[in-house]
Amino acid sequence: MVTARPAPQDAPGTRPPASGPTRLPALRELAGSVPDPELPVITLAELGVLRSVSEPEPGRVEVELTPTYTGCPALETMAEDVERALTAAGVQRVTVRTVFSPPWSTDDISEEGRRKLAEHGVAPPRPGTGRDGPVPVRLSPARRADGLTEQIRCPHCRAAGTELLSRFSSTACTSLRRCLACREPFDHFKEV
Amino acid sequence: MTATAPPALALLPPADDALVLSHRLGEWAGHAPVLEEEVALANIALDLLGQARALYAELRDELGSEDEIAYLREERAFRNCQLVEQPNEDFAHTIVRQLYFSAYQLPLHHRLASCVPVAAKAAQETAYHLDHAEQWTLRLGDGTEESHARMQRAADALWRYTGELFEPIEGLDIDWHGLRAEWSGTLTDVFGRAGLTVPDGPGTGAWSAGAGRQGLHTEPFGRMLAEMQHLHRSHPGASW
Protein backbone atom coordinates (compact mmCIF):
# COMPACT_ATOMS: atom_id res chain seq x y z
CA MET A 1 0.00 0.00 0.00
CA VAL A 2 1.35 3.38 -0.88
CA THR A 3 0.63 5.94 1.75
CA ALA A 4 1.81 9.46 2.13
CA ARG A 5 4.39 9.47 4.83
CA PRO A 6 5.21 12.32 7.07
CA ALA A 7 8.72 13.63 7.28
CA PRO A 8 10.51 11.79 10.06
CA GLN A 9 11.64 13.81 12.96
CA ASP A 10 14.77 15.25 11.49
CA ALA A 11 15.25 17.89 14.11
CA PRO A 12 14.61 16.47 17.53
CA GLY A 13 14.26 18.94 20.34
CA THR A 14 17.13 17.64 22.35
CA ARG A 15 20.14 15.76 21.10
CA PRO A 16 20.98 12.62 23.05
CA PRO A 17 24.06 13.15 25.23
CA ALA A 18 27.27 11.85 23.66
CA SER A 19 27.87 9.52 26.59
CA GLY A 20 26.68 8.70 30.07
CA PRO A 21 23.81 6.68 31.52
CA THR A 22 21.08 8.75 29.86
CA ARG A 23 22.44 8.24 26.34
CA LEU A 24 20.83 4.88 25.54
CA PRO A 25 17.42 5.74 26.99
CA ALA A 26 17.51 8.99 25.00
CA LEU A 27 18.42 7.12 21.80
CA ARG A 28 15.68 4.61 22.45
CA GLU A 29 13.15 7.34 22.95
CA LEU A 30 14.24 9.01 19.75
CA ALA A 31 14.03 5.81 17.71
CA GLY A 32 10.70 4.96 19.31
CA SER A 33 9.22 8.36 18.49
CA VAL A 34 9.46 7.73 14.73
CA PRO A 35 5.90 7.51 13.33
CA ASP A 36 4.64 4.32 11.73
CA PRO A 37 4.76 4.89 7.95
CA GLU A 38 1.31 3.39 7.29
CA LEU A 39 -0.51 4.54 10.42
CA PRO A 40 1.40 7.73 11.17
CA VAL A 41 -0.83 8.54 14.14
CA ILE A 42 1.13 6.12 16.26
CA THR A 43 4.84 5.76 16.88
CA LEU A 44 7.02 2.69 16.51
CA ALA A 45 7.30 2.46 20.30
CA GLU A 46 3.51 2.58 20.71
CA LEU A 47 3.09 -0.05 17.99
CA GLY A 48 5.54 -2.26 19.88
CA VAL A 49 7.84 -2.99 16.96
CA LEU A 50 10.96 -1.41 18.47
CA ARG A 51 12.69 -4.30 20.21
CA SER A 52 16.00 -2.88 21.34
CA VAL A 53 18.51 -0.08 20.95
CA SER A 54 22.11 -0.76 21.87
CA GLU A 55 25.53 0.73 21.27
CA PRO A 56 27.92 -2.19 20.80
CA GLU A 57 30.79 0.25 20.23
CA PRO A 58 31.03 4.04 20.61
CA GLY A 59 29.34 5.78 17.70
CA ARG A 60 27.65 2.65 16.32
CA VAL A 61 24.04 2.15 17.35
CA GLU A 62 22.19 -1.06 16.66
CA VAL A 63 18.39 -1.05 16.49
CA GLU A 64 16.21 -4.15 16.40
CA LEU A 65 12.79 -3.92 14.78
CA THR A 66 10.21 -6.68 14.49
CA PRO A 67 7.57 -6.72 11.73
CA THR A 68 3.85 -6.83 12.45
CA TYR A 69 3.59 -9.19 9.45
CA THR A 70 6.50 -10.86 7.68
CA GLY A 71 5.63 -9.17 4.41
CA CYS A 72 4.99 -5.78 5.96
CA PRO A 73 6.06 -3.37 3.20
CA ALA A 74 6.50 -0.60 5.75
CA LEU A 75 9.42 -2.30 7.47
CA GLU A 76 12.05 -0.97 5.09
CA THR A 77 10.66 2.53 5.43
CA MET A 78 10.66 2.19 9.21
CA ALA A 79 14.31 1.18 9.13
CA GLU A 80 15.21 4.14 6.91
CA ASP A 81 13.25 6.55 9.10
CA VAL A 82 14.90 5.28 12.29
CA GLU A 83 18.30 5.54 10.67
CA ARG A 84 17.60 9.08 9.53
CA ALA A 85 16.32 10.17 12.94
CA LEU A 86 19.35 8.79 14.75
CA THR A 87 21.82 10.12 12.20
CA ALA A 88 20.24 13.56 12.45
CA ALA A 89 20.79 13.37 16.20
CA GLY A 90 24.50 12.88 15.70
CA VAL A 91 24.90 9.09 15.69
CA GLN A 92 27.67 8.20 13.26
CA ARG A 93 26.62 4.68 12.30
CA VAL A 94 23.24 3.03 12.58
CA THR A 95 22.49 -0.62 11.88
CA VAL A 96 18.86 -1.72 11.82
CA ARG A 97 18.22 -5.44 12.14
CA THR A 98 14.95 -7.33 11.68
CA VAL A 99 14.13 -9.89 14.36
CA PHE A 100 11.25 -12.35 14.31
CA SER A 101 11.50 -13.96 17.70
CA PRO A 102 9.44 -13.69 19.78
CA PRO A 103 6.82 -12.85 17.16
CA TRP A 104 5.10 -9.49 17.43
CA SER A 105 1.61 -9.64 18.87
CA THR A 106 -1.14 -7.06 18.93
CA ASP A 107 -0.76 -7.23 22.70
CA ASP A 108 2.49 -5.32 22.16
CA ILE A 109 0.54 -2.19 21.16
CA SER A 110 0.57 0.20 24.11
CA GLU A 111 -2.51 1.68 25.77
CA GLU A 112 -1.65 5.04 24.27
CA GLY A 113 -1.29 3.38 20.87
CA ARG A 114 -4.73 1.79 21.15
CA ARG A 115 -6.27 5.09 22.14
CA LYS A 116 -4.71 6.87 19.16
CA LEU A 117 -5.80 4.14 16.74
CA ALA A 118 -9.40 4.40 17.91
CA GLU A 119 -9.25 8.17 17.62
CA HIS A 120 -7.98 7.77 14.08
CA GLY A 121 -10.94 5.55 13.14
CA VAL A 122 -9.17 2.18 13.39
CA ALA A 123 -10.74 -0.25 15.85
CA PRO A 124 -7.88 -1.37 18.11
CA PRO A 125 -7.15 -5.06 18.61
CA ARG A 126 -8.73 -6.69 21.62
CA PRO A 127 -6.22 -7.58 24.31
CA GLY A 128 -5.23 -11.06 25.39
CA THR A 129 -4.51 -12.90 22.18
CA GLY A 130 -1.92 -15.32 20.94
CA ARG A 131 0.93 -13.90 23.03
CA ASP A 132 2.04 -17.35 24.01
CA GLY A 133 3.03 -18.24 20.54
CA PRO A 134 1.84 -20.52 17.84
CA VAL A 135 -1.73 -21.14 18.86
CA PRO A 136 -3.89 -21.07 15.75
CA VAL A 137 -6.41 -18.27 15.74
CA ARG A 138 -9.47 -20.03 14.35
CA LEU A 139 -11.98 -17.42 13.45
CA SER A 140 -14.95 -19.40 12.25
CA PRO A 141 -17.96 -18.34 14.30
CA ALA A 142 -18.78 -21.99 14.88
CA ARG A 143 -15.44 -22.71 16.51
CA ARG A 144 -14.32 -19.60 18.27
CA ALA A 145 -11.35 -21.00 20.09
CA ASP A 146 -9.47 -17.74 20.47
CA GLY A 147 -11.07 -16.92 23.79
CA LEU A 148 -12.04 -13.40 22.73
CA THR A 149 -15.28 -12.35 24.23
CA GLU A 150 -14.99 -8.60 23.96
CA GLN A 151 -16.89 -7.12 21.03
CA ILE A 152 -15.29 -5.01 18.35
CA ARG A 153 -16.83 -1.59 18.66
CA CYS A 154 -17.35 0.93 15.90
CA PRO A 155 -14.59 3.54 16.25
CA HIS A 156 -16.97 6.22 14.95
CA CYS A 157 -20.17 5.82 16.98
CA ARG A 158 -18.98 3.27 19.57
CA ALA A 159 -21.85 0.87 18.77
CA ALA A 160 -21.08 -2.72 19.66
CA GLY A 161 -22.81 -4.30 16.69
CA THR A 162 -20.39 -4.59 13.77
CA GLU A 163 -19.95 -7.11 10.99
CA LEU A 164 -16.96 -8.49 9.13
CA LEU A 165 -16.78 -7.49 5.46
CA SER A 166 -13.36 -8.88 4.65
CA ARG A 167 -10.61 -10.55 6.64
CA PHE A 168 -8.03 -8.49 4.82
CA SER A 169 -8.16 -4.76 4.38
CA SER A 170 -6.01 -1.81 3.31
CA THR A 171 -3.01 -3.20 5.19
CA ALA A 172 -2.05 -6.78 6.06
CA CYS A 173 -2.63 -6.11 9.74
CA THR A 174 -6.24 -4.94 9.45
CA SER A 175 -9.59 -6.44 8.51
CA LEU A 176 -12.52 -4.51 7.05
CA ARG A 177 -15.71 -4.24 9.12
CA ARG A 178 -18.94 -2.27 8.99
CA CYS A 179 -20.97 -0.76 11.80
CA LEU A 180 -24.54 -2.02 11.91
CA ALA A 181 -25.70 1.19 13.59
CA CYS A 182 -24.07 4.03 11.64
CA ARG A 183 -23.27 1.85 8.57
CA GLU A 184 -19.75 3.27 8.31
CA PRO A 185 -17.07 0.82 7.20
CA PHE A 186 -13.89 0.82 9.28
CA ASP A 187 -10.57 -0.99 9.66
CA HIS A 188 -9.99 -3.26 12.62
CA PHE A 189 -6.50 -4.18 13.80
CA LYS A 190 -6.56 -7.99 13.60
CA GLU A 191 -5.51 -9.80 16.73
CA VAL A 192 -2.41 -11.94 16.37
CA MET B 1 14.51 -21.32 20.79
CA THR B 2 14.61 -24.86 21.99
CA ALA B 3 15.72 -27.00 19.09
CA THR B 4 18.82 -26.74 16.92
CA ALA B 5 18.38 -24.73 13.75
CA PRO B 6 18.06 -26.92 10.65
CA PRO B 7 20.73 -26.70 7.92
CA ALA B 8 20.03 -23.62 5.82
CA LEU B 9 19.39 -25.55 2.61
CA ALA B 10 16.54 -27.42 4.30
CA LEU B 11 14.68 -24.09 4.28
CA LEU B 12 14.79 -23.82 0.49
CA PRO B 13 11.68 -25.98 -0.22
CA PRO B 14 9.39 -24.06 2.18
CA ALA B 15 10.87 -20.77 0.95
CA ASP B 16 10.22 -21.67 -2.70
CA ASP B 17 6.67 -22.82 -1.82
CA ALA B 18 5.98 -19.40 -0.35
CA LEU B 19 7.51 -17.44 -3.24
CA VAL B 20 5.77 -19.41 -5.98
CA LEU B 21 2.36 -19.35 -4.34
CA SER B 22 2.80 -15.65 -3.66
CA HIS B 23 3.36 -15.07 -7.37
CA ARG B 24 0.36 -17.18 -8.36
CA LEU B 25 -1.90 -15.25 -5.98
CA GLY B 26 -0.48 -11.99 -7.28
CA GLU B 27 -1.78 -12.98 -10.73
CA TRP B 28 -5.30 -12.40 -9.40
CA ALA B 29 -4.63 -8.67 -9.06
CA GLY B 30 -7.11 -6.94 -11.33
CA HIS B 31 -9.10 -10.15 -11.92
CA ALA B 32 -10.57 -11.16 -8.56
CA PRO B 33 -14.36 -11.59 -8.39
CA VAL B 34 -14.87 -8.75 -5.90
CA LEU B 35 -12.72 -5.93 -4.60
CA GLU B 36 -12.49 -7.34 -1.07
CA GLU B 37 -11.21 -10.61 -2.50
CA GLU B 38 -8.67 -8.82 -4.63
CA VAL B 39 -7.31 -7.19 -1.50
CA ALA B 40 -7.45 -10.44 0.48
CA LEU B 41 -5.51 -12.45 -2.12
CA ALA B 42 -2.94 -9.68 -2.47
CA ASN B 43 -2.49 -9.56 1.30
CA ILE B 44 -2.02 -13.32 1.50
CA ALA B 45 0.48 -13.06 -1.35
CA LEU B 46 2.32 -10.37 0.58
CA ASP B 47 2.53 -12.52 3.71
CA LEU B 48 3.93 -15.37 1.67
CA LEU B 49 6.44 -13.10 -0.02
CA GLY B 50 7.59 -11.88 3.38
CA GLN B 51 7.98 -15.47 4.58
CA ALA B 52 9.97 -16.36 1.46
CA ARG B 53 12.26 -13.36 1.88
CA ALA B 54 12.93 -14.12 5.54
CA LEU B 55 13.85 -17.70 4.67
CA TYR B 56 15.98 -16.71 1.66
CA ALA B 57 17.91 -14.38 3.96
CA GLU B 58 19.05 -17.50 5.83
CA LEU B 59 20.38 -18.92 2.55
CA ARG B 60 22.58 -15.99 1.62
CA ASP B 61 25.85 -17.86 2.18
CA GLU B 62 24.72 -20.83 0.11
CA LEU B 63 22.75 -19.22 -2.70
CA GLY B 64 23.35 -15.48 -2.71
CA SER B 65 21.02 -12.50 -2.36
CA GLU B 66 17.21 -12.70 -2.27
CA ASP B 67 17.04 -11.36 -5.82
CA GLU B 68 19.56 -13.86 -7.12
CA ILE B 69 17.66 -16.71 -5.49
CA ALA B 70 14.28 -15.59 -6.81
CA TYR B 71 15.17 -14.26 -10.23
CA LEU B 72 18.31 -15.95 -11.44
CA ARG B 73 17.74 -19.63 -10.75
CA GLU B 74 16.57 -21.96 -13.50
CA GLU B 75 13.44 -24.05 -13.19
CA ARG B 76 15.33 -27.17 -12.11
CA ALA B 77 16.83 -25.34 -9.13
CA PHE B 78 13.44 -24.55 -7.59
CA ARG B 79 12.39 -26.92 -4.80
CA ASN B 80 8.74 -25.91 -4.39
CA CYS B 81 6.07 -28.57 -4.44
CA GLN B 82 4.03 -28.89 -7.62
CA LEU B 83 0.80 -27.92 -5.88
CA VAL B 84 1.74 -24.25 -5.49
CA GLU B 85 2.81 -23.84 -9.12
CA GLN B 86 -0.54 -25.00 -10.50
CA PRO B 87 -2.34 -22.24 -12.44
CA ASN B 88 -5.11 -20.26 -10.79
CA GLU B 89 -7.79 -21.57 -13.20
CA ASP B 90 -11.20 -20.60 -11.80
CA PHE B 91 -11.72 -19.22 -8.29
CA ALA B 92 -12.60 -22.70 -7.01
CA HIS B 93 -9.18 -24.03 -8.05
CA THR B 94 -7.47 -21.14 -6.29
CA ILE B 95 -9.45 -21.68 -3.10
CA VAL B 96 -8.89 -25.44 -3.04
CA ARG B 97 -5.17 -24.88 -3.67
CA GLN B 98 -5.17 -22.42 -0.75
CA LEU B 99 -6.98 -24.88 1.48
CA TYR B 100 -4.71 -27.82 0.63
CA PHE B 101 -1.61 -25.70 1.10
CA SER B 102 -2.57 -23.65 4.19
CA ALA B 103 -3.77 -26.77 5.97
CA TYR B 104 -0.25 -28.14 5.42
CA GLN B 105 1.68 -24.94 6.03
CA LEU B 106 0.10 -24.11 9.39
CA PRO B 107 1.06 -27.35 11.19
CA LEU B 108 4.44 -27.20 9.42
CA HIS B 109 5.07 -23.74 10.88
CA HIS B 110 3.99 -24.96 14.30
CA ARG B 111 6.52 -27.75 14.10
CA LEU B 112 9.30 -25.43 12.93
CA ALA B 113 8.51 -22.62 15.38
CA SER B 114 11.03 -23.78 17.97
CA CYS B 115 13.98 -23.75 15.58
CA VAL B 116 13.17 -21.30 12.75
CA PRO B 117 12.36 -17.82 14.14
CA VAL B 118 10.21 -16.70 11.20
CA ALA B 119 8.02 -19.82 11.45
CA ALA B 120 6.43 -18.68 14.71
CA LYS B 121 5.61 -15.34 13.11
CA ALA B 122 4.38 -16.99 9.91
CA ALA B 123 2.07 -19.31 11.84
CA GLN B 124 0.03 -16.30 12.97
CA GLU B 125 -0.44 -15.29 9.34
CA THR B 126 -1.10 -18.78 8.02
CA ALA B 127 -3.92 -19.20 10.55
CA TYR B 128 -5.66 -16.34 8.75
CA HIS B 129 -4.92 -17.86 5.33
CA LEU B 130 -6.43 -21.17 6.37
CA ASP B 131 -9.45 -19.43 7.80
CA HIS B 132 -9.92 -17.51 4.55
CA ALA B 133 -9.76 -20.72 2.47
CA GLU B 134 -12.05 -22.53 4.90
CA GLN B 135 -14.74 -19.84 4.81
CA TRP B 136 -14.75 -19.84 0.99
CA THR B 137 -14.80 -23.63 0.85
CA LEU B 138 -17.89 -23.68 3.07
CA ARG B 139 -19.57 -20.95 1.08
CA LEU B 140 -18.87 -22.42 -2.35
CA GLY B 141 -19.06 -26.12 -1.47
CA ASP B 142 -22.38 -25.60 0.25
CA GLY B 143 -23.51 -22.95 -2.24
CA THR B 144 -25.17 -23.39 -5.61
CA GLU B 145 -25.08 -26.49 -7.73
CA GLU B 146 -22.57 -24.76 -9.98
CA SER B 147 -20.25 -23.63 -7.19
CA HIS B 148 -20.40 -27.06 -5.56
CA ALA B 149 -19.55 -28.81 -8.83
CA ARG B 150 -16.64 -26.48 -9.48
CA MET B 151 -15.25 -26.98 -5.98
CA GLN B 152 -15.45 -30.74 -6.24
CA ARG B 153 -13.83 -30.64 -9.67
CA ALA B 154 -10.98 -28.53 -8.30
CA ALA B 155 -10.60 -30.75 -5.23
CA ASP B 156 -10.31 -33.82 -7.46
CA ALA B 157 -7.98 -32.16 -9.97
CA LEU B 158 -5.51 -30.89 -7.39
CA TRP B 159 -5.53 -34.00 -5.21
CA ARG B 160 -2.69 -35.65 -7.14
CA TYR B 161 -0.34 -32.87 -6.03
CA THR B 162 -0.96 -33.30 -2.31
CA GLY B 163 1.00 -36.50 -1.68
CA GLU B 164 4.24 -34.66 -2.30
CA LEU B 165 3.65 -32.32 0.65
CA PHE B 166 4.46 -35.14 3.05
CA GLU B 167 7.64 -36.41 1.41
CA PRO B 168 10.17 -35.66 4.16
CA ILE B 169 12.43 -32.71 3.38
CA GLU B 170 16.04 -33.54 4.13
CA GLY B 171 17.25 -31.65 7.17
CA LEU B 172 13.80 -30.84 8.58
CA ASP B 173 13.56 -33.13 11.54
CA ILE B 174 9.82 -33.15 12.09
CA ASP B 175 7.07 -35.69 12.52
CA TRP B 176 5.80 -36.00 8.93
CA HIS B 177 3.20 -38.66 9.73
CA GLY B 178 1.68 -36.47 12.42
CA LEU B 179 1.71 -33.54 9.99
CA ARG B 180 -0.16 -35.60 7.42
CA ALA B 181 -2.69 -36.77 10.01
CA GLU B 182 -3.34 -33.19 11.08
CA TRP B 183 -3.73 -32.09 7.44
CA SER B 184 -6.16 -34.94 6.71
CA GLY B 185 -8.13 -34.10 9.84
CA THR B 186 -8.55 -30.47 8.75
CA LEU B 187 -9.63 -31.46 5.24
CA THR B 188 -12.09 -34.09 6.40
CA ASP B 189 -13.63 -31.60 8.79
CA VAL B 190 -13.87 -28.68 6.34
CA PHE B 191 -14.97 -30.77 3.34
CA GLY B 192 -17.52 -32.55 5.54
CA ARG B 193 -19.11 -29.27 6.58
CA ALA B 194 -18.95 -27.97 3.00
CA GLY B 195 -20.71 -31.02 1.61
CA LEU B 196 -17.67 -31.96 -0.47
CA THR B 197 -16.08 -35.37 -0.82
CA VAL B 198 -12.43 -35.80 0.12
CA PRO B 199 -10.92 -37.40 -2.99
CA ASP B 200 -9.43 -40.84 -2.55
CA GLY B 201 -6.37 -42.24 -4.23
CA PRO B 202 -2.72 -41.89 -3.39
CA GLY B 203 -2.46 -38.13 -3.77
CA THR B 204 0.19 -38.48 -6.44
CA GLY B 205 0.20 -38.60 -10.21
CA ALA B 206 1.74 -41.47 -12.15
CA TRP B 207 5.12 -39.78 -12.30
CA SER B 208 4.91 -36.76 -10.07
CA ALA B 209 5.48 -38.11 -6.55
CA GLY B 210 8.05 -35.97 -4.82
CA ALA B 211 9.02 -34.36 -8.10
CA GLY B 212 8.88 -30.67 -7.23
CA ARG B 213 11.17 -31.17 -4.26
CA GLN B 214 13.71 -32.71 -6.67
CA GLY B 215 13.44 -29.85 -9.13
CA LEU B 216 11.06 -31.52 -11.57
CA HIS B 217 8.10 -29.29 -12.28
CA THR B 218 4.91 -29.29 -14.28
CA GLU B 219 4.63 -27.53 -17.60
CA PRO B 220 2.87 -24.37 -16.36
CA PHE B 221 5.75 -23.59 -13.99
CA GLY B 222 8.18 -22.63 -16.76
CA ARG B 223 5.76 -20.06 -18.09
CA MET B 224 5.15 -18.64 -14.64
CA LEU B 225 8.87 -18.38 -14.00
CA ALA B 226 9.45 -16.68 -17.35
CA GLU B 227 6.95 -14.00 -16.44
CA MET B 228 8.23 -13.65 -12.89
CA GLN B 229 11.89 -13.39 -13.89
CA HIS B 230 11.86 -11.56 -17.19
CA LEU B 231 11.95 -8.02 -15.84
CA HIS B 232 14.92 -8.68 -13.59
CA ARG B 233 16.76 -10.58 -16.29
CA SER B 234 16.07 -7.99 -18.99
CA HIS B 235 17.11 -5.08 -16.80
CA PRO B 236 19.76 -6.35 -14.38
CA GLY B 237 20.08 -4.16 -11.33
CA ALA B 238 16.97 -2.12 -12.11
CA SER B 239 15.35 -0.51 -9.09
CA TRP B 240 12.20 1.52 -8.43
Domain containing residue B184: CATH number: 1.20.1260.10
ipTM, interface predicted TM-score of the complex: 0.81
Does residue A92 sit in the same domain as residue A128? Answer: no
Percentage with pLDDT > 70 across chain B: 96
User: Is A6 inside a domain boundary?
Assistant: no
pLDDT at A5: 52
User: Is B47 inside a domain boundary?
Assistant: yes
Does residue A30 sit in the same domain as residue A89? Answer: yes
Q: Give the mutation candidate from A2, A66, A70 for the B interface (greatest B CB count, under 10 A).
A: A70
Does residue A91 sit in the same domain as residue A128? Answer: no
Distance from CA of A146 to the nearest CA of B (A): 11
Instruction: Please say whether the beta carbons of A30 and A16 come within 8 A.
Output: yes
User: Is A143 inside a domain boundary?
Assistant: no
Q: Could you report the per-residue pLDDT of B79-126, keeping only the tens digit for each?
A: 999 999 999 999 999 999 999 999 999 999 999 999 998 999 999 999
Minimum Cα–Cα distance from B34: chain A residue: A166
CA separation for the pair A32, A14 (Å, rounded): 15
Does residue A128 sit in the same domain as residue A82? Answer: no
pLDDT at B30: 92
User: Is A63 inside a domain boundary?
Assistant: yes
pLDDT at A18: 83
SS3 content of chain B, % helix, strand, coil (to 5): 70, 0, 30
How confident is the prediction for chain B on average, in pLDDT?
93
Q: Is B106 on the interface with A (CB under 8 A)?
A: yes
Which residues of chain A fall short of a pLDDT of 70?
Answer: 1-14, 129-150
Q: Which residues contact B114 (CB under 8 A, 6 or more apart)?
A: B1, B2, B3
| Residue B184 domain boundaries | 8-234
* Number of structural domains in chain A: 2
User: Is A141 inside a domain boundary?
Assistant: no
| Residue A33 domain boundaries | 23-98
Q: Give the mutation candidate from B35, B43, B51 for the A interface (greatest A CB count, under 10 A).
A: B43
pLDDT at A144: 37
pLDDT at A142: 35
User: Is B164 inside a domain boundary?
Assistant: yes
pLDDT at B203: 72
Does residue A91 sit in the same domain as residue A42? Answer: yes
* Number of structural domains in chain B: 1
CATH value at residue A50: 3.30.300.130
Does residue A27 sit in the same domain as residue A86? Answer: yes
What integer is the mean pLDDT of B188-206? 87
What integer is the mean pLDDT of B124-130? 94
pLDDT at B11: 97
pLDDT at B206: 54
User: Is A110 inside a domain boundary?
Assistant: no
Cα–chain-centroid distance for residue A36?
A: 7
CA separation for the pair B54, B231 (Å, rounded): 22
Identify which has the larger pLDDT, B27 or B3: B27
